[in-house]
Amino acid sequence: MNRRFLSVPLLLVFLFVMLASFPAAADNSRAKDYPERAVARMYVKYKCGCTRIGNGTMVGRRGLITAGHLLICPSHSRWADTIQFKFGIKNSRDCLYTYTGGYQLYVFDTFKKKDGTIRYSNENNIGYVIFDKNVGDKTGWYGIYAPSAYDLTGEWYHWLGYKNWDLYSDYGFLNANDSSNVFTFSSYQSAYFQGAGIYNWDEGNSGPTLVGVYINDSGSTCYGRKVTSDVIREMRKNGAFD
Ligand SMILES: [Zn+2]
């Protein structure tokens, strides 16, 4: 047999194996798992032309909760024009599920000023999406709970969101007070998690329970916006849990 004839296909096989192994090494191996698959990487394009990438978390069959500033541009007070929702990101090309149907966006009135313009405020920075179609039966969803300051203060909670193509989970030691909808915590990781859910998974719970949304950080201090009872009440009224 011609030796040169053999070596070329062998070289090609070797190159193929090498190239194929690199994306595999970067894959998110938990992409299809619950609760990871209930977290969306969101590609937002606002009506002002600005773009942003963030996270949202399913909390019912049709409801996704996120930071308000992912739904309204904090610089120009314009609504998101298009949002692509990708659940269970495996790598830069592949995910478990991309939502393609219609949806409604909601932020709280207190996110807006009295004159109708919209301000960026930690205190009011929470919003949600109601999908026209049933998403939760594909992705699963978190429980949702309106915690008291007592529930939050001094407790350790998880947060989970996308940083580039990877899902990162971290722990935060929370501090909250009664007069604010905002709690603070420290994190070891630099933030790329805007809109990511902050949750606990106590023993005996059937799944994770979301108590807040990560909104921003300043130095080593991170800020979360509590889930409040009015958030849950409005989400229920608008069909998030149907
Ligand atoms: Zn803008």
In a domain? residue 3? no
CA of 80 to the centre of ligand 1 (A): 9
Say which amino acid occupies 189. Q
Residues 149, 8: Cα–Cα separation, whole Å:
67
Q: Are residues 154 and 115 in the same domain?
A: no
The pLDDT tens digits of the residues spanning 150-177 come to: 999 998 888 888 887 888 888 788 999 8
Residue position matching structure tokens 């949702």: 144
Which of 17-21, 83-87, 131-135 is the least confident region? 17-21
Would residue 151 count as lying in a domain?
yes
Torsion of CA 212, 143, 130, 176, to 10 degrees: -10
**Angle CA 197–96–200, to nearest 5:** 25
Please report where in the chains the tokens 């580039």 appear, as a residue: 164
For residue 183, report the distance from its CA to the centre of ligand 1, in Å: 26
Ligand 1 center to residue 73 CA distance, Å?
5
Query: What is the reported pTM?
Result: 0.84
Four-CA torsion 189, 194, 197, 198, nearest 10 degrees: 50
pLDDT in tens, 183-225: 998 876 666 679 999 998 876 677 899 999 999 888 778 899 9
- Does 28 map to a domain? no
Number of separate domains in the chain: 2
pLDDT at 21 over 70: no
Query: Which single residue is written with the structure tokens 């990560």?
Result: 214
Q: What is the CA radius of gyration of the chain?
A: 20
Given a contact cutoff of 8 angstroms between Cβ atoms, the answer to whether 219 and 184 are in contact is no
Burial class (CB in 10 A: 0-12, 13-18, 19+), 2: exposed
* Confidence bin at 121 (pLDDT 50/70/90): confident
Torsion (CA) 139, 145, 151, 154 in degrees, nearest 10:
30
Residue 77 lies in a domain: yes
Distance 78 CA to ligand 1 centre (A): 6
Q: Does 187 lie in the same domain as 126?
A: no
Q: How far is the CA of 8 from the centre of ligand 1 (A)?
A: 54
CA–centroid distance, residue 47 to ligand 1 (Å) = 7
**Alpha carbon of 45 to ligand 1 centroid (Å):** 9
Q: Which residues contact 4 (CB under 8 A, 6 or more apart)?
A: none
The rounded Å distance from CA 196 to ligand 1 centre is: 21
Element (H, E) at 127: strand 127-131
3 Cα–ligand 1 center, Å: 63
Quick one: residue 22, left, alpha or beta (phi over 0 = left, psi -120 to 50 = alpha)? alpha
Beta carbons of 43 and 55 less than 8 angstroms apart: no
Per-residue confidence (pLDDT) for residue 134, from 0 to 100:
97
Query: Do 193 and 131 reside in the same domain of the chain?
Result: no
63 within some domain: yes
Distance 131 CA to ligand 1 centre (A): 24
Q: Of the candidates 83, 116, 139, which is a domain's last residue? A: 139
Q: How far is CA 146 from the centre of its chain?
A: 18
Angle at 160 between CA 158 and CA 166, to 5 degrees: 140
Specify the CATH number for the domain of residue 197.
2.40.10.10
